[in-house]
Amino acid sequence: RCTTLNDFFVVGDLLNGAEGVVAVQAGTMYVSGGIANEGQIYGEVVGAPGFMGGGQTSQGDGLAIAGDLTLGPDASIRFSEPLWRISLGGDFDVAITSPSQFELIGSTLRLDGSSGSMQHFEATSLDIGPDPLAFTDPPAGVSLIRELEIVSDSGVTVVDNHLNSGGKSKGLESIYTSRLEIAAGASLVLGTHTLYCTEFEIDGTVDHPDQIVLVSILPDPDFNNDGLVNGADLAFILAFWGTNDPDVDLNGDGMVTAADLGILLGAWGVYP
């Protein structure tokens, strides 16, 4: 087991075997080569800063890999908290067969092209279409990445070389990311793949812009997140009545009206 407590530098490649564990507790693990992982790699978030003598976990901590990130069929990678970032210069080659072992739901995956060549990016998710559930409560087979960032002068091509979605279907897999950012001078080649997101900023080029599908996430009627839809939530509707506030517009029609009140009353009581 290797636990990093501050910034840590690996010269050359990092090979993590089937029984190996790499835990990043704080700081960034810099790898001048690539990572080949058959075991576990994860970002360990501990409540108290300075755990085991390490530094405080900060926004942007995680992995910085100059080469490829290769994840074998039985490997796992888990960076689930919003502060983590994985910067990658080479290919994102994921052969993980169990979606439960692939968790980047809270992290940023930054493709920086530092290897100097076109980066190949494995599509890892079951394609369930533009379903908001993929971003709020991903069902089995859907692998959500919080933010996918392609930096300036980087070129990325999406591939589908492995079956990652947990089923036996050989249907084309896709990408789900809450936020997509393609910087000026960067390029994304989707080919026949679809990328679903709830927000994007595209200043670079995409070969098939129509295959980037923007999914609208509607608010739920439990506005104060107390597990109940009741008078407290009704007060939100009344306070914003007649406005276009997107956080209270339950049906997404651009106005808080009786239609939204109807949705709230239909969900009255204990909210799942």
Write the DSSP assignment of 85-135 as a string of letters. Answer: EEEESS-EEE----GGGEEEEEEEEEE--TTSSPEEEE--B----S-THHH
pLDDT at 45: 66
**Whether 237 contacts 260, CB under 8 Å:** yes
Q: Which residues contact 114 (CB under 8 A, 6 or more apart)?
A: 66, 87, 89
**Whether 189 contacts 122, CB under 8 Å:** no
d(CA 104, CA 76): 11
CA distances from 85 to 32, 139, 245 (A): 17, 24, 32
Phi/psi for 33 (5° steps) reads -110, -135
Per-residue pLDDT 10s for the chain (272 aa) are 888 888 999 999 999 999 999 999 889 999 999 999 999 999 976 554 444 445 677 889 999 999 999 999 999 999 988 889 999 999 999 999 998 899 998 899 999 998 888 999 999 999 999 998 899 888 889 999 999 999 999 999 999 999 998 766 667 899 999 999 999 999 999 999 999 999 999 999 999 999 999 998 888 899 988 889 999 999 999 999 999 888 898 887 889 999 999 989 988 998 76
pLDDT at 3: 84
pLDDT at 83: 85
Residue 87: Cβ-neighbour burial (10 angstroms; 0-12, 13-18, 19+) = buried
Q: And the tokens for 157?
A: 């091509």
Q: pTM of the predicted model, to two decimals?
A: 0.82
d(CA 86, CA 129): 26
Q: And the tokens for 254?
A: 């651009």
Q: And the tokens for 65?
A: 């890999």
d(CA 15, CA 266): 54
